[in-house]
Amino acid sequence: MSFLYNLCSSSSGNATFIGSQAEGFFIDMGTGVRTVFRFLKDARIDKKAIQGIFITHEHSDHVKGLSTLLKYLPVPVYATRGTLLALYEKGILHNGNRMIPLNGPADIGRFIVTPYATSHDAAESVCYQIQEKNGATAAVCTDLGYVSEEIEAMLSECSTVMLESNHDREMLRNGPYPYFLKKRILSDSGHLSNAQAAQTIQKLTQGNLRQLLLAHLSEHNNLPSLALQSSLSAVGEHPCEVYVLPKWGEGRRFFL
Ligand SMILES: [Zn+2]
Ligand SMILES: [Zn+2]
């Protein structure tokens, strides 16, 4: 049975595994080799079962473990052309790595993984929809300034949605960040606030939503209880489980 496992989720590191013991892949690699191998050992997943790593964008909280991991686990890296080029220019990817540019759905084992463009201050950022062939559909959607109609339609097809709920607007406004950074986060190419996430979640309650995972919480400008409160109100009476992803994975698997 396929599941989603989040290894870490915050402004300092993001990485998610999707698959089963037989096969699977990562989305982003913002954590170290040791964390990845501990997860694989605990979940009894063989290294050979890992088919690739999908990258959303080149910001360090999504790729800081990538180049070292590829030395131990030389799997293909899937990303948009813009992201691959940015990673190459930063020296994170090199000619020895297998780079697979995405311009549409990727067929990977039991899954179809489709990139959707996000508005974020990176070269060519995306979020991903993951469709298990003859099975459930999930989304991993973080680092976006606003939710486009296209992304909203994509999310409404999914039963498991991992969605950014980055900051509480008041905490951010009154918090310690310098003005330029506050402006960046609040902009259309920044991050989703709890209120923006809630607006989207409310619309998703008309669709297939069954598991909602709140992701990429800011460590300085949010509280898990604020993100949860805002999403719970948005979910209303819709039958759906809501879960706030902690900074470090707690061993919980979300079956698709
Ligand atoms: Zn990020
Ligand atoms: Zn980012």
3-state secondary structure 175-197: CCCCHHHHHHHHCCCCCCEHHHH
CA 243 vs. chain centroid, Å, equals 15
Neighbours of ion ligand 1 (CB under 5 A): 61, 143
For 219-238, the pLDDT digits (tens) are 999 999 999 999 999 999 99
Q: pLDDT band for position 251 (50/70/90)?
A: confident
What's the pLDDT band for 69 if we cut at 50, 70, 90? very high
Please state whether the predicted TM-score (pTM) of the whole model is above 0.75: yes
Give the number of the ligand closest to the Cα of residue 59: 2
Which sequence spans correspond to the domains of the chain? 3-246
Lookup: tokens for 171 = 């905490």
Residue with tokens 């406004």: 173
Distance CA 118, CA 142 (A): 9
CA of 1 to the centre of ligand 2 (A): 31
> Does CATH number 3.40.640.10 belong to domain 3-246?
no
Q: Exposed (0-12), middle (13-18) or buried (19+): which is 20, by Cβ within 10 Å?
A: middle
Q: Please name which of 176, 247, 219 lies closest in space to residue 30, comparing C-alpha atoms.
A: 247
CA of residue 175 relative to chain centroid, distance = 25
| DSSP string for residues in 29-50 | E-S-HHHHHHHHHHTT--GGGE
Residue 62: is its pLDDT beyond 90?
Answer: yes
Query: Which ligand has the shortest distance to the CA of 86?
Result: 2
- What number is the average pLDDT over the span 157-161? 98
CA distance linking residue 224 with residue 245, whole number of Å:
8
pLDDT at 134 over 90: no
pLDDT for residue 50: 98
For ligand 1, the distance from its centroid to the CA atom of residue 190, given in whole angstroms, is 9
Q: Are 191 and 125 in contact (CB under 8 A)?
A: no
How many degrees, rounded to 5, is the angle at CA 154 between CA 194 and CA 143?
Answer: 40
- Please tell me the distance from the alpha carbon of residue 15 to that of residue 26, in angstroms, as a whole number: 7
Comparing CA positions, the residue from 196, 209, 110, 236 lying closest to residue 154 is 209
- Asked if residue 8 has pLDDT above 90, the reply is yes
Query: Ligand 1: distance of its center to the CA of 216 in Å?
Result: 7
**6 alpha carbon to ligand 2 midpoint, in Å?**
17
Q: Tell me how far the alpha carbon of residue 237 lies from the centroid of ligand 1, in angstroms.
A: 31
Look up residue 5 and give its amino acid: Y
Distance, CA 32 to ligand 1 centroid (Å)? Answer: 16
Instruction: Identify the band that residue 250 occupies on the pLDDT scale cut at 50, 70 and 90.
Output: confident
